[in-house]
Structure 1
């Protein structure tokens, strides 16, 4: 007489309880391995921009567009007025004297290191916030900014504010929408350029515009279709401002990765921004 296992498969009768238990355990273990193999690719290995290596790649990608260099750590002392109506643009993420994020950064620096070289400019930064004015900042602000950039406390403050204002909100929203590393970067780059306020060209408005064309994966949509819709909305927003009418940071960078199906931002990466070629091996 042949017995049936718990899975319905016939097994030879074995008078030894110990051997039967061992066979049952082996079958259970094999079943568990098979089930895990089916689940793992869809969950455990999804690329996440919080991974230190991928985060560094994201910083290099942004720096290629903001500073024409992959060396983002060399940008702590960068400062100039690029005449985009936002006053001085500076640091590793383009903090602006006219948009409030530079003011927040210098206030954090004061909190962490009272008496620093930039603290005396806080009254002027409060007055010029929301304007392109340099009143109260010239002629020595740029020189003092570069001096501050040599201070590890100021560099750490820049990274803290970058993460708080731009990186963390972008990655959080992207993960909520169910997109992987490329989508997380696309969100981050959009927040860096457009901010996350409530105006019609902000990141939230760009995402809302994309929702009119497609659904993110978290709502049952296709990831590639959704990211194409998001990038379309991003390009539209960029073209509304003359200083951002060159959309190559999307067209010949992010869109290239998307067309290649590189949703996990796997290296090597090759792209162009403003006609310049870059590569991360």
Structure 2
């Protein structure tokens, strides 16, 4: 379910992150904790991948999703891989181009002309009938898995974490940003990540600006729900309502386990 049209990633200048540095008032220890441990901590990143997979694939086994591909009728063509790269939004094209740089002549390289033509549409022209089979075949290649990991980090994960750290929000907040970028992208349209964040900033200050982290995260989630409801394919807001809001209400700003949540009515647990 990735992204509307992707623009350059929104990045504020990161705040220097040192556990021993003076914490910005008035959020003190919370911001210091965010500086000390971020979503880019390997254990936290694993949790993030599992939670996103619960929403994108109804499974915690995110590593089983490299081979995933289908058209989910959301106007973005084929959705595939560990983060929902889409043939209609440019990120699948970027992925296959990079994979072909690393491994020329790979099984997906022949689809590059078609991927360039269908970018921005939901068309399968030039992809059917064998693209899905070849995607699954490519997913057996360690280099293709590494390429998916790289593009996930470059386009979605790293920008979310950097912006979150700059805003002074902790692991949960950085995850909330990440999940928003995964679904909405960071383009110029009104429902993109940067404009969801802008809408939230009109209602609450970030911790880096001296605001309450919980109040800001609630404002961001309110804006996120609004954005989701603008599009029929995303109108089920349970990945916010019965997942992210649950963690905020419990004050689990560091996304510590155990975690229990629901998405689309299914229950999930990380011990």
**TM-score normalised over the length of structure 2:** 0.88
Give the equivalent residue in structure 2 for 1:7: none
Give the equivalent residue in structure 1 for 2:127: 137
Give the equivalent residue in structure 1 for 2:66: 76
Q: Indicate which of 247, 262, 269 corresponds to 1:272.
A: 262
**TM-score normalised over the length of structure 1:** 0.85
Give yes or no for the alignment of 1:182 onto 2:172: yes
Give the equivalent residue in structure 2 for 1:260: 250
Q: Displacement, 1:278?
A: 0.1
Give the equivalent residue in structure 2 for 1:32: none
Render the CA deviation track for 1:21-79: whole Å, top value 9, x for unaligned: xxxxxxxxxxxxxxx8x989556643310100000000000000000000000000000
Give the equivalent residue in structure 2 for 1:239: 229
Is there any run of 5+ residues in structure 2 with no aligned partner, and where? 1-19
Q: Displacement, 1:191?
A: 0.2
Give the equivalent residue in structure 1 for 2:6: none
Q: Indicate which of 135, 147, 153 corresponds to 1:157.
A: 147
Q: Indicate which of 229, 243, 251 corresponds to 2:241.
A: 251
- In the alignment, the residues of structure 2 paired with residue 240 and residue 278 of structure 1 have an alpha-carbon distance, to the nearest angstrom, of 27
The answer (yes or no) to whether the contact 2:71–2:77 under 8 Å persists in 1 is yes
Give the equivalent residue in structure 2 for 1:92: 82
Computed over aligned residues only, the root mean square deviation of the Cα atoms, in angstroms, reads 1.4
Q: Which structure's residues are more often helix, by fraction?
A: 1
Render the CA deviation track for 1:155-204: whole Å, top value 9, x for unaligned: 00000000000000000001000000000000000000000111101000
- In the alignment, the residues of structure 2 paired with residue 245 and residue 43 of structure 1 have an alpha-carbon distance, to the nearest angstrom, of 33
Higher-Rg structure is 1
Give yes or no for the alignment of 1:169 onto 2:155: no
- In the alignment, the residues of structure 2 paired with residue 198 and residue 131 of structure 1 have an alpha-carbon distance, to the nearest angstrom, of 17
Q: Indicate which of 107, 116, 125 corresponds to 1:126.
A: 116
Aligned residues: 245
- In the alignment, the residues of structure 1 paired with residue 124 and residue 71 of structure 2 have an alpha-carbon distance, to the nearest angstrom, of 9
